[in-house]
Amino acid sequence: MEDVMRACTRIATSLLLLSPLIATAGPGTPQGLHFPTEIVGVWDAYPLPCVVDGPSDSDMRIRIAGNMLHGYENNDTVRSIERVAESPMAWRVVTISDIAPEEIQGEADIYVLRGDTLTITNGERAYTYIRCR
């Protein structure tokens, strides 16, 4: 599992560095933007066990639905999304946070999906989640 996480992080970091930033923060959400169905659902930090409807003591749990990523204390709205790889599936995602400082609004993250493991990285830090069942 550690090899998969390292590989996902390396791929995501490479994609992030090779992909120029094309979106900037601004009001509103472009029409029709939403997270891919492959990553919609409830996720929690690896290796914590997780069930969708169960209670959670984790502040790392996220719920991805429609154009929103709902975190423990934040709600991030999709500003732009672009598929950057097929295998493993990966997307370059720019979101606008309801709590993040203005100077980091509009920065891109790379989302890499391999099976039931989702890694989200900005090239400096990476978080790996497992899909809740």
Check residue 20 and give its pLDDT. 40
- Please name the residues in contact with 88: beta carbons below 8 A apart, sequence gap of 6 or more: 8, 11, 112, 113, 114
Helical (H) or strand (E) element with 8: helix 2-18
Please give the full DSSP string across 99-119, using - where no structure is assigned: SS-GGGTT-EEEEEEETTEEE
**What is the per-residue pLDDT for 50?**
80
pLDDT of res. 7 = 52
Query: What is the pLDDT at residue 3?
Result: 60
pLDDT in tens, 32-44: 899 999 999 999 9
Supply the pTM of this predicted model: 0.74
- Residues in the chain predicted with pLDDT less than 50, given as ranges, are 4-5, 8, 12-29
**Token pair belonging to 29:** 């959400």
